[in-house]
Amino acid sequence: MSELIKLEEENPEFVSPYSSSQRVGGEPVEGFPTVEHRVPMLSLDNAYSIEEVKEFEKRIKRLLPKESFEYIAELKIDGLGVALIYENGVLTRGATRGDGARGENITSNLRTIKSIPLKIKDSKPSPEYLEVRGEVFLSRDAFEKINTEREKKGESLFANSRNAAAGSLRLLDPKITAKRPLDIFLYNIIFIDERLRPETQLKSLEFLKELGFKVVPHSEKPLKNFEEIFNYYNQKKEKLEELEYNTDGLVIKVNSFPQQKLLGETSKHPRWAIAFKFPAKQARTTIRNIEVQVGSTGAVTPVAIFDSTSLSGSTISRATLHNEDEIKRKDIRVGDTVLIEKGGDVIPKVIKVITAERTGKEKIFKFPKICKVCQSPIFRPEGEAVARCTNPSCSAQIKKRLQHFASRSAMDIEHLGPSIIEQLVEKNYVKDFADLYLLDENTLAGLERMGKKSAQNLKEAIEKSKNAGFQRVLFALGIRHVGERASQILSEKYPSIDKLAEADRESLEEIEEIGPRIAESIVNFFSQRSNCGLVERLKRAGIKTSRETGKQKKATLEGKQFVLTGALESFSRRKAKKAIEELGGRVTSSVSKNTNYVIAGKDPGTKYQDALRLNIDILDENGLKKIISKD
């Protein structure tokens, strides 16, 4: 490497962008820009038992009643999902999964991973455009070395290898990322020239290997039925400790790509794949205390604090106990020896108390009647399991509500993370949502880890959020039971938040999809003077709390279903979806007989072929513009 760098310094005209010396370069960045995935990075549905995998196979048989099919099994790596794009064989972009629709552009950091080719191997023919997806991870040895070094420096330790990998990828200085021995397994081809597209998942993995990628460990041949899946599962389960990396199960995929297209996906999961989880590992520990946490709606949740315990690749010392009834049902006491496991290999939970080891010194937990944060009364409504702090100005509630308010689906305020919110509330700069819009750059720059540029970026993001729109504002307010879908329905029914505030329970219940629970919650919210005052302050700050004035858009696309495929030049996928939905249309992720239009951009992929096969109308970008511009 030293010789290569010296030669390139002496002969800069021969330095190529995919030289090994170019993996790390440039100055630290201020932050990572957001990018949209052309195809959403969906999560996988999970199966924890043989019965659930059998049900998965039954669903496939129901959907493909006259077809035979086979599977491929891949190890489910415990890491961070990323998408890599290659143009003319050269890596041009790498992004995190993010929320599935949008991720962060972390190309500079991904270039530091030696197992990611900066230029793919030549093949005949060679793909002009290629998008692949994989899992970035740290080996067990690498994780231990990183934590050992951090301990020597007096730094906090990573809880598990997944957190360490994710943290390493999001470092703002790629030179530091380069010092972390990150690795990657590739598992999917998303976009490729049609002439090169493999017919099966197994062939796609073989093709990725030919191009120079390191692919996920998988079954060497297709598995023909459930029995073969289960045999392979047992083989891998018995050898987990021999692996150099952490895995929590198998990913079972229908092998044929044409059959995957027919099966399609839901809004969250592909129907042609499932994660068959290995049994959760359990451990014994001792509960030292039970504390309570206060959420955004005032919900008071008990949390068990126990001796630090290593479990499924991470060190845990706390687990939620959900509510008072759950503690009584399991008879959990401070000082008890308990059995814990990680549900879905993610969330720690107390399975049971080992009563045989009780000494008589254990203490029964008494649920508090006073909030530990604000000293206000805690009240448990009749018929509900959850107790709540009655003070809406409780700082613990404010912090959680602000996090929701700033989230992507709400006001989408970039750079306003939990640590910044913590400081703003603790320093008494912010007591509610409206106070955010009174902050100036000097105040923000005075916060820890906030320089002048960061303060400017945050101030600009706060100002930008003023135009988020009525629907997002309604969701951001955090009215109990009012989620994204309810916010959309209500913002279409009522022209402004003032009109919604005047609505009674009966008129709200008449709206389709708005039931008694949501109606009652809305009426209760606007019956409180403090909430009405907050809305008025938001309006004075310049927040738009009504639909756009001017000519009202007609629901000209009501009942019509659209599918977007390929890259659009004038729209982001999110903006195109919003434009269609504003006219009453619906955007789905897969083509079916119920689809009315497929909007095809550049490099449309397989959905375009599905539309041709099903004789569905295909429109280009100009066709979409004509539809949404009609009165």
Place of tokens 């880890």: 449
Secondary structure (3-state) at 406? helix
Q: Please return the burial class of 285, using the count of CB atoms within 10 Å of its CB with bins 0-12, 13-18 and 19+.
A: buried
C-alpha to C-alpha distance for 469 and 409, rounded to whole angstroms: 12
Distance (Å, rounded) from C-alpha 582 to C-alpha 605? 26
C-alpha distance from residue 533 to each of 193, 525, 537, 539 (Å): 57, 11, 6, 10
Distant-in-sequence, close-in-space partners of 199: CB < 8 Å, separation ≥ 6:
256, 257, 258
- Judged by DSSP in three states, 38 sits in coil
If you count them, how many residues does the chain have? 631
Phi, psi (5° rounding) for residue 332?
-85, 130
**Most distant CA pair in the chain: distance in Å?**
80
Tell me the pairing of strands 337-343 and 299-311.
unpaired
First to last CA, the chain: 63
Signed CA dihedral, 106, 107, 110, 115: sign only: positive
Cα-Cα-Cα-Cα dihedral sign, residues 416, 420, 424, 426: positive
Sign of CA dihedral 41, 76, 156, 149: negative
Is residue 76 flagged as an active site residue?
yes
Q: Which of 76, 253, 277, 544 is catalytic?
A: 76
Cis, peptide link before residue 125, omega less than 30° from 0: yes
Residue 452, token pair as written in the block:
């002048």
Beta-carbon count within 10 A of 484 CB: 13
CA distance 115 to 247: 19
Can you read off the two tokens belonging to residue 47? 């199966």
The CA distance from 597 to 599, in Å, is 6
Distance CA 449, CA 603 (A): 42
Quote the distance between the C-alpha of residue 589 and its chain's center. Answer: 17
Residue 148 has φ and ψ, to the nearest 5°, of -60, -45
Chain center to CA of 328: 34
Of 356, 461, 374, 357, nearest to 412 by C-alpha is 461
581 by Cβ neighbours in 10 Å (0-12 / 13-18 / 19+) ranks as middle
Neighbours of 241 (CB within 10 A): 6
Q: How far is CA 111 from CA 92, 170, 175, 180, 204, in A?
A: 10, 13, 11, 12, 23
Angle at 97 between CA 91 and CA 99, to 5 degrees: 145
Is the alpha carbon torsion for 534, 535, 540, 541 positive or negative?
A: positive
Q: Which residues have a catalytic role annotated?
A: 76
